[in-house]
């Protein structure tokens, strides 16, 4: 646990004091990104202590060979993983012949790191005494530009405090990097050329196998006390690396500054032959603007982001800091500009989970992006899956499905399955439902039906076809059953009739049929085009209806609840509170078989169904199921507390809702799971946002209207959030005594407050 390590602060993440043990954790927490690239908060200068180096480029991955003990038919031959990209931030510093290295210097004082969330930059200041006796002060600031997303900028200031000093800066590019998790000793990058021109340097390289071409580039300049020096650096080149050497003589108290602009151009955006020339121009433009002007633009860009997406919390600094940290890191990861990209569970902050796309995007992230960005962003996320439809069909074919049935991959970079645990890849099929649900959710929120005739319907049909084929008719039960699945609760594998899976399968079938039916009237020509393209028959649709109408659900009369799966009641039903603390987390303490035969639930499963399809169950039903399942839930997935927080709030259990909220919002800042050094839990951060908006704020969309049922945790004085609903921004402010609604927009908006309709007018305030 990191508790009380990060300074409480409304707008900044601040670390004070240097602790070598925390370097890797802080490298994660202070990560920065701009949607196109991102990096861990590695030091610019040499650091010989324990560190986890990571710089990542959106959409650039490597297909690692699948190796398993017992090969199973249908496994992907390769799985895509995020790879560490060439390092462009490095600036080695030598003072009177001694390398500046926080691991080897005599003392480090006044070390302070700040991630300024309001303005979008990272800084680091410290003083050191080197082994050679020189006292130095260092002040480094960097950011990745939101506006010019191929560029980042670093200003690195060194002041010799007690004497004059010879200061050598060696800014470099290094393409000879590896992955932390490169088990197989494969080489991931191939360097094509290493060049320099004046104060610019370029390394052209491509990833092995995937052949993503990247130009890593830098432009550097040296200043003395703020005055640029026109020094031409000497150049050192090796196979994978290029560095410039700048030598400066600083008098005692002089500040010598290395300013470095750097970044990547990639062949996703440019012709691969133009990468160096584009980089050359982009860097020149950045350098012409200069560090300060770039930084001013950065602040403006972040001001815009916060204007749409900020959540304020009064009376609870840690909660305030937590939610802003989550919102910032989500924006670091994905800004929604490019439908070819998606939201990796670790973003650009680590290597785990392969940087790939999971159902997290549809289940947890889309609501955040819908409400805090323009609606094209969410649409881009839907299109990402539409663009992968063909591969999802191929994936289903590998598993024996026919006739255009699609199974979206559990984990993917390019539409192909990238996971090879059979119980996940082949059986955690509920993910297919989330893809369809996101289409429904997008339409519900934005009111934009146009996506469905254009693209969504094809996806829905392919998913419906999958569910139809995946269900089997049980003569014993005279119902359709779905055998051999893993539900959202991954602590059960190969189970039969998982409530959530059966429910979302049935829902997908019904929703697809309803959508088709709706289109018959309003979008007949689109419907005909799609039906023609995918060769959908009446007989097929009638089969879907059969399956949907006769879906089986395990139910316990005794407990009056749907069972999570067949046989759930055979387990020893000991609740989590009676499980010794020493046995938890069970995923670290117990062997897999023990976990599987226990009743313990990793994350919302039956309750996830109640969350998605809330309007199809009564509050009493929710309460019964919550009371039955939550006591068995260990919340060992970062995606678990948020759903429970929302449901607890709905049930009026505000203290429980607040506890769940805390657990999700400061998961990484307080390092609850002792693993933040591996990277941040990006996708669950969107769940934190939902906890406030949907949980405390009680926001829903009902009949094309925003609806609220605001509550406030006892610990808070007030909170506010903004919702971009159909191109108008509604700000909701909740205090202990009242709730106000303010609208930025051009026309009146009818909303529901605690079930009653109220109209909010632009630039007006409604208080209730």
Q: Does 398 bind a second copy (CB under 8 A)?
A: yes
Which residues carry a binding-site annotation? 359-360, 602-603
Instruction: Considering the complex, state which of residue 423 and residue 614 has its C-beta at the smaller distance from a second copy.
Output: 423
589 contacts a second copy (rule: CB under 8 A): yes
**751, 707 Cβ separation under 8 angstroms:** yes
Nearest to 569 by CA among 555, 580, 583: 555
Q: Which stretch binds a second copy (CB under 8 A): 66-74, 89-97, 665-673, 760-768?
A: 66-74
| Contact mark string toward a second copy, 495..534, x via CB under 8 A | xx--------------------------------------
> Which residue in 572, 615, 620, 703 binds a second copy (CB under 8 A)?
572
Could you say which of 7, 51, 74, 164 contacts a second copy (CB under 8 A)? 74
**Which string of x and - marks every residue 154-173 that binds a second copy (by CB under 8 A)?**
--------------------
Piece of 309-317, 473-481, 529-537, 606-614 that binds a second copy (CB under 8 A) = 473-481
Helices 457-470 and 375-387 cross at an angle (nearest 10°) of: 50
Question: Which CB sits closer to a second copy, 60 or 481?
Answer: 481
Angle (CA) 630 635 640, round 5°: 90
- Check binding of 67 to a second copy (CB under 8 A): yes
In terms of CB distance, is 118 or 496 closer to a second copy?
496
Three-state SS sequence of 677-700: HHCCCHHHHHHHHHHHHHHHCCCE
Shortest distance (Å) from residue 62 CB to a second copy: 15
Least distance to a second copy from the beta carbon of 364, Å? 21
SS3 461: helix
Count of CB atoms situated within 10 Å of the CB of 547:
22
Residues paired with residue 242 on neighbouring β-strands, in sequence order:
173, 237
User: 504 with 609: CB under 8 angstroms?
Assistant: yes
Residue 631 touches a second copy, criterion: CB under 8 A: no
Distance CA 74, CA 570 (A): 32
Choose the binding region for a second copy from 326-334, 444-452, 470-478, 743-751 (rule: CB under 8 A). 470-478
Minimum Å distance from CB 475 to a second copy? 8
490 flagged as catalytic:
yes
Closest CA to 82 of 345, 315, 310: 345
> To which residue do tokens 């879906």 refer?
551
**Which residue, 483 or 534, has its beta carbon nearer to a second copy?**
483
Q: Omega before 585 cis (within 30°)?
A: yes
Which part of the chain contacts a second copy (CB under 8 A), choosing from 251-259, 288-296, 450-458, 494-502?
494-502
Nearer to a second copy, 145 or 498 (CB): 498
Cα dist from 83 to 45, 48, 175, 409, 420, whole Å: 22, 22, 12, 20, 19
Q: For the chain, percent helix, then strand, then coil, each to nearest 5? A: 35, 25, 40
DSSP string, 288-318: HHHHHHHHHHHHHHHHHHHHHH-EEEES-HH
Q: Name the strand (E) or helix (H) holding 562.
A: strand 561-562
Among 594, 736, 747, 767, the residue binding a second copy under the rule CB under 8 A is 594
Q: Which stretch binds a second copy (CB under 8 A): 120-128, 415-423, 521-529, 542-550?
A: 415-423
Q: Which of residues 306-335 bind a second copy (CB under 8 A)?
A: none
Q: Is 68 in the site for a second copy (CB under 8 A)?
A: yes
Scanning 167-175, 178-186, 455-463, 722-730 for contacts with a second copy by CB under 8 A, the matching segment is: 178-186
Provide the minimum distance between the beta carbon of 72 and a second copy in the complex, in angstroms, as a whole number.
4
Of the candidate residues 477, 520, 736, 767, the single one contacting a second copy (CB under 8 A):
477
With respect to a second copy, which residue has the nearer C-beta, 185 or 521?
185
Q: What's the closest the beta carbon of residue 301 comes to a second copy, in angstroms? A: 38
CB neighbour class for 408 (10 Å; exposed up to 12, middle 13-18, buried from 19): buried
Give me the numbers of helices (H) and strands (E) for the chain, helices first please. 21, 33
Instruction: Report if residue 569 touches a second copy, rule: CB under 8 A.
Output: yes
Catalytic residue (choose from 27, 490, 677, 742): 490
Instruction: Return the exposure string of 194-227: e unless at least 16 CB atoms fall within 10 Å of the residue's CB, then b.
Output: bebeebbbbbbbbbebbebbbbbbbbbbbbbeee
Is 73 among the residues that bind a second copy (CB under 8 A)? yes
Q: Return binding residues for substrate.
A: 359-360, 602-603
Report the residue count for the chain: 768
Counting other chains too, the contacts that 517-525 makes at CB distance below 8 Å and 24 or more residues apart are 519/452, 519/453, 519/457, 523/449, 523/452, 523/453
**Minimal distance in Å, beta carbon 477 to a second copy?**
7
| Helix residue spans in 334-416 (DSSP H) | 360, 366-372, 375-387, 389-398
Nearer to a second copy, 483 or 513 (CB): 483
Binder to a second copy among 422, 440, 451, 725 (CB under 8 A)?
422
Nearer to a second copy, 245 or 550 (CB): 550
In 3D space, the residue among 31, 30, 24, 11 whose CA is nearest the CA of residue 112 turns out to be: 30
Residue 366 and residue 342 in contact, taking contact as beta carbons nearer than 8 Å: no
State which of residues 69, 226, 580, 755 lies at the interface with a second copy (CB under 8 A): 69
Number of residues counted as binding a second copy (CB under 8 A): 52
- Residue from 49, 198, 567, 762 binding a second copy (CB under 8 A): 567
Q: Please give the Cα distance from 470 to 41 (Å, whole number).
A: 46
Residues interacting with a second copy, by CB under 8 A? 67-70, 72-74, 79, 183-185, 398-400, 419-424, 426-427, 472-477, 481, 483-484, 493-496, 566-567, 569-573, 587-594, 596-597
Catalytically active residues, by annotation: 490
């Amino acid at each position: 646990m990191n508790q009380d390590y990060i300074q409480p602060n409304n707008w900044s993440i601040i670390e004070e004091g240097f602790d070598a043990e925390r370097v890797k954790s802080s490298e994660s927490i202070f990560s920065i990104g701009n949607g196109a690239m991102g990096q861990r908060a590695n030091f610019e200068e040499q650091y010989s202590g324990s560190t986890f180096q990571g710089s990542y480029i959106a959409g650039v991955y490597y297909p690692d060979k699948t190796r398993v003990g017992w090969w199973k038919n249908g496994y992907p031959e390769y799985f895509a993983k995020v790879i560490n990209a060439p390092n462009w931030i490095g600036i080695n510093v030598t003072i009177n012949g001694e390398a500046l290295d926080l691991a080897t210097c005599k003392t480090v004082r006044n070390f302070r790191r700040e991630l300024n969330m309001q303005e979008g930059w990272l800084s680091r200041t410290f003083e050191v005494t080197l082994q050679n006796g020189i006292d130095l002060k260092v002040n480094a600031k960097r950011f990745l530009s939101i506006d010019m997303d191929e560029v980042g900028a670093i200003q690195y200031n060194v002041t010799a405090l007690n004497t004059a000093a010879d200061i050598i800066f060696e800014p470099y590019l290094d393409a000879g990097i590896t992955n932390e998790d490169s088990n197989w000793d494969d080489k991931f990058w191939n360097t094509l050329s290493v060049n320099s021109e004046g104060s610019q340097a370029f390394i052209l390289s491509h990833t092995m196998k995937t052949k993503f071409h990247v130009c890593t580039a830098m432009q550097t300049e040296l200043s003395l006390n703020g005055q640029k020096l026109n020094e031409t650096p000497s150049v050192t080149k090796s196979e994978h690396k290029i560095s410039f050497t700048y030598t400066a003589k600083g008098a005692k108290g002089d500040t010598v500054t290395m300013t470095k602009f750097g970044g990547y151009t990639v062949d996703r955006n440019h012709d691969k032959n133009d990468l160096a020339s584009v980089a050359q121009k982009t860097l020149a433009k950045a350098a012409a603007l200069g560090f300060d002007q770039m930084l001013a633009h950065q602040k403006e860009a972040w001001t815009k982001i916060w204007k749409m997406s900020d959540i304020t919390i009064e009376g609870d600094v840690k909660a305030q800091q937590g939610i802003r940290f989550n919102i910032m890191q989500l924006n670091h990861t994905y800004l929604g500009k490019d439908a070819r990209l998606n939201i990796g569970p670790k973003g650009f902050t680590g290597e785990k989970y392969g940087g790939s796309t999971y159902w997290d995007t549809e289940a947890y992230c889309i609501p955040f992006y819908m409400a805090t960005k323009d609606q094209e962003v969410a649409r881009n996320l839907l299109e990402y899956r539409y663009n992968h439809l063909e591969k999802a069909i191929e994936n289903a074919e590998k598993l024996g499905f026919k006739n255009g049935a699609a199974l979206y991959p559990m984990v993917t970079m390019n539409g192909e399955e990238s996971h090879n645990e059979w119980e996940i890849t082949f059986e955690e099929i509920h993910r297919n439902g989330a893809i369809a649900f996101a289409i429904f959710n997008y339409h519900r929120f934005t009111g934009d039906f146009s996506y469905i005739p254009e693209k969504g319907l094809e996806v829905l049909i392919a998913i419906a076809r999958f569910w139809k084929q995946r269900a089997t008719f049980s003569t014993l039960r005279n119902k359709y059953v779905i055998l051999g699945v893993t539900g959202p609760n991954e602590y059960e594998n190969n189970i039969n009739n998982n409530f959530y899976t059966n429910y979302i399968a049935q829902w997908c079938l019904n929703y697809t049929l309803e959508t088709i039916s709706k289109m018959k009237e309003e979008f007949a020509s689109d419907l005909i085009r799609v039906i023609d393209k995918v060769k959908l028959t009446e007989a097929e649709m009638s089969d879907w209806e059969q399956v949907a109408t006769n879906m089986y659900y395990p139910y316990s009369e005794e407990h009056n609840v749907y069972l999570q799966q067949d046989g759930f009641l055979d387990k020893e039903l000991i609740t989590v509170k009676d499980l010794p603390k020493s046995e938890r987390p069970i995923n670290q303490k117990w062997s897999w078989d023990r976990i599987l035969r226990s009743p313990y639930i990793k994350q919302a499963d039956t309750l996830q169904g109640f969350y998605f399809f809330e309007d199809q169950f009564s509050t009493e039903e929710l309460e019964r199921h919550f009371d039955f399942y939550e006591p068995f839930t260990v919340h060992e997935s970062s995606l678990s507390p948020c759903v429970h927080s929302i449901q607890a709030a709905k049930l009026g259990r505000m203290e429980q809702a607040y506890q769940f909220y805390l657990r999700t919002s400061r998961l990484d800042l307080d390092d609850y799971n002792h693993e933040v050094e591996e990277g941040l839990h990006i996708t669950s951060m969107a769940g934190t946002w939902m906890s406030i908006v949907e949980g405390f704020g009680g926001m829903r969309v009902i009949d094309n209207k925003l609806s609220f049922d605001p509550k406030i945790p006892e610990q808070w004085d007030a909170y506010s959030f903004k919702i971009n609903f159909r191109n108008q921004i509604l700000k909701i402010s909740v205090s202990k005594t009242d709730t106000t609604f303010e609208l930025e927009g051009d026309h009146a908006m009818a909303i529901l407050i605690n079930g009653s309709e109220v109209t909010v007018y632009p630039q007006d305030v409604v208080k209730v």
